[in-house]
Amino acid sequence: MLKVIYNEKDQTYKLHKNYPNAACCYKQILRAGARTTADSKYKLLSCVTFPQDFVVPPDVEAVITECRRPYSSKVLQKDGFSFVHPQKPDPTPSSSPEERPSVLLWGIDSLSRMNFELTMPLTYKYFREQPWYELQGYNKMGDNTFPNLMAILTGFNQTRSYSKCRPTAVGGLDACPMIWKRFKAEGYATAYAEDWASISTFDYLKKGFRRRPTDVYGRPLVLALEKELKKKYIKEIPYCLGRKSSAEYIYDLAEQFTEVHKNRSFFGMFWTNSFSHNDFSLPSAMDARMVKYMRTLDHNGIMQNTIIIFFSDHGTRFGLLRKLDSGFLEERLPVIYIRLPKWIRDKYPEFLDNLKANKNRLTSPYDIHATLKHILELDTPAEQLPRPEGCPTCHSVFQAVSLSRNCSLAGIDDHWCSCGGFTEVSSTDQMAKTIAEQLVEAINQFLISLKGTQKCRHLKLDKIMSVHRKGNSSVYLIQLSISPGGGFLEASAEWNPKTQKISTSVPSISRLDSYGTQSRCVQVKEAKKFCVC
Ligand SMILES: [Zn+2]
């Protein structure tokens, strides 16, 4: 019933009624809440009736609209819209836009390189026909979304991400040195948006941001859409909100943000969970749409001056795919493609050569952090560029990665490292049994050591599924099930034959099936995958 028409000349939006007699009004969406609820509440202003081709005021960034037949009280159609208005231009840009590429991080949660090719063949084909460069040896550095995105956004390892950015304290993340602050300080317009409010990276069992972190911030819109519009769930994901898929609101916002700011520098991160997190086959539903988004960015001229990173944080972490033999690599190797504007390819041919050479080398999220910093100073000699704190041996992917690089040099913990061969060990072997029993005991001790886990039950080893030895090392990869609850785990443990004891990092142990509601009695994130209430 309603169409948003963008006027490129004066950068305004019009609300056009397809049925001119329809009575429509809009409710402005605002951030609300304070302290602990600052990032989880929104407020709707009362419904303002508007005429045909109403020009949206510049302070209105998101709305819920309602349309009725004339003199009818029944709402015929309800929608949600975002409007990105231009930021004031930077008064003193340090260099001309020609020398300052914009940056667009286009993210999809839980999508491996393998599964991307299987479920999004059209996008895969499009990337191969266009100047997109893949990093096939891109290996996650930590378990789930938060550490991997924080490595990109801050260069911190997981421990530092928690100690320095305190995501569970109100205002903790606000004080965190997110990379978008660097871009903002350089005069870039900034944006961040993510769908599926309850599991969003900075809000799932965390406090989110007290103040809006970027110029354009999608969260109030997403909170309102999920509450005000009709939802359709697929595999417990709010996949559709009203008449669009959840992800489309995020990517439409990206389209608006880049279009409005195309004549200045911008940095935007647009992240979606809603068509990939719980169902490995669902990305296929977005495949054709994704190609359309990419073609629109190209058509709008965005690609002429924007470095685009199309990426994920990790592969499928639980479920059927993870239990296959390929599940080990599935989880560890997220998809990532990078596109450089033509002028950068022409001006810095060595960047392109290096990026191509890095296709089959080992890279990690820390390298992407270093790359973002490199983008801020493209002419600085490689040896003078800043290195990520969490991985001082990591560097921009526009520099060649050494062929002899190993996981430790790429900042990737042993357990998440996909390099190195494995040999099978019999699961009835006495050492295998001892390792498995000690692992379960380590998990029990870990749960006891955490606050708020009193309701978690004592775990026992149920069955050893498989044991593999990593190369010639004393590190073993073990898959086992536990009881009660039947959790299916995969753990790395280093075996000391002298002491007959293992050393392991319990937080790094993977849970290969979904813990679902088993751990509803704990709110401690690290305990969720082990705790059975
Ligand atoms: Zn994730």
- Average pLDDT, stretch 115-133? 98
Strand 102-108 to strand 306-311: parallel, antiparallel, or no bridges (unpaired)? parallel
CB-based neighbours (< 5 A) of ligand 1, an ion: 109, 145, 313
User: How far apart are the CA of 138 and the centre of ligand 1, in A?
Assistant: 15
Q: Which two tokens stand for residue 508?
A: 């790094």
pLDDT at 285 over 60: yes
How much distance in Å is there from the Cα of 145 to the middle of ligand 1? Answer: 4
Residue 350 Cα, ligand 1 centroid: separation in angstroms?
Answer: 32
Average pLDDT of the segment spanning 1-5 = 94
Q: What is the pLDDT of residue 474?
A: 92
Centre of ligand 1 from the C-alpha of residue 490, in Å: 18
Distance 270 CA to ligand 1 centre (A): 13
Query: What is the Å distance from ligand 1's center to 64 Cα?
Result: 29
- Please say if the pLDDT value at position 94 is more than 70: no
Tokens 């596109």: give the residue. 339
Supply the pLDDT for residue 516: 86
In the reported structure, the alpha carbon of residue 110 is separated from the centroid of ligand 1 by a whole-number distance in angstroms of 5
**Among the CATH numbers 3.40.720.10, 3.40.50.300, 3.30.300.160, 3.60.15.10, which is that of 104-416?**
3.40.720.10
Where along the chain do its domains lie?
Answer: 2-82, 104-416, 422-528
Q: 163 C-alpha to center of ligand 1: Å?
A: 21
Residues of the chain above pLDDT 70, percent = 98
Query: Ligand 1 centre and the CA of 467: distance in Å?
Result: 27
Two structure tokens written together for 359: 């296709």
How far is the centre of ligand 1, averaged over its atoms, from the C-alpha of 271 (Å)? 10
- Give me the residue label for tokens 């142990």: 509
pLDDT winner (highest mean) among 357-366, 407-416, 464-473 = 357-366
- In the 8-state DSSP scheme, what is residue 138? B
Are the beta carbons of 92 and 264 closer than 8 angstroms?
no
pLDDT band at 514 (very low <50, low <70, confident <90, very high): confident
Q: What is the mean pLDDT of residues 408-435?
A: 92
How far away, in angstroms, is 520 Cα from ligand 1 center? 20
pLDDT in tens, 353-364: 999 999 999 999
- The encoded tokens of residue 387 equal 């290195």
* pLDDT (0 to 100) of residue 87: 81
Is residue 371's pLDDT more than 90? yes
Token pair in block for residue 350: 């060595």
CB 69 within 8 A of CB 37: no
pLDDT of residue 472 exceeding 90, the answer is no
∠ CA 403-409-413, nearest 5°, is 120
Tokens 């058509």 appear where?
A: 299
> How confident is the model over 285-299, as a mean pLDDT?
98
Whether pLDDT at 431 is above 60: yes
The region of weakest confidence among 22-26, 84-88, 125-129 is 84-88
CA distances from 396 to 20, 232, 353, 373 (A): 54, 41, 13, 8
Window from 56-70, 94-108, 197-211, 247-261 with minimum mean pLDDT: 94-108
- DSSP labels, 473-525: SSEEEEEEEEETT--EEEEEEEEETTTTEEE--GGG-EE-S--TTTTTT---H
190 phi and psi, to 5 degrees? -125, 155
Give residue 57's pLDDT. Answer: 97
Q: Are the CB atoms for 110 and 274 separated by under 8 Å?
A: no
For ligand 1, the distance from its centroid to the CA atom of residue 144, given in whole angstroms, is: 5
List, for residues 306-315, the tens digit of each pLDDT value.
999 999 999 9
**Which string of b and e fits 198-215 if b means at least 16 CB within 10 Å?**
ebbbbbbebbbbbebbbb
Q: How far is the CA of 28 from the centre of ligand 1 (A)?
A: 31
- The string of pLDDT tens digits covering residues 203-229 is 999 999 999 999 999 999 999 999 999
Question: For the residues 368-389, what does the mean pLDDT come to?
Answer: 97
Mean pLDDT of the chain: 95
188 CA → ligand 1 middle, Å: 27
For tokens 């081709």, name the residue.
53
For the segment 488-508, the average pLDDT, to the nearest whole number, is 94
Spatial CA neighbour of 409 closest among 393, 395, 385: 393
pLDDT of residue 56: 98
**Cα 142 from chain centroid (whole Å):** 13
CA pseudo-torsion sign 207, 213, 218, 221: positive
Q: Is the CATH code 3.10.450.10 the one for domain 422-528?
A: yes
Which has the closest alpha carbon to 135: 338, 316, 413, 281?
338
> From ligand 1's centre to the CA of 312, what distance in Å?
8
Closest CA to 142 of 367, 473, 411: 411
> What is the three-class DSSP state of 361?
coil
Amino acid at 377: E
CA of 315 to the centre of ligand 1 (A): 8
Distance CA 468, CA 424 (A): 4
**Average pLDDT for 417-433:** 90
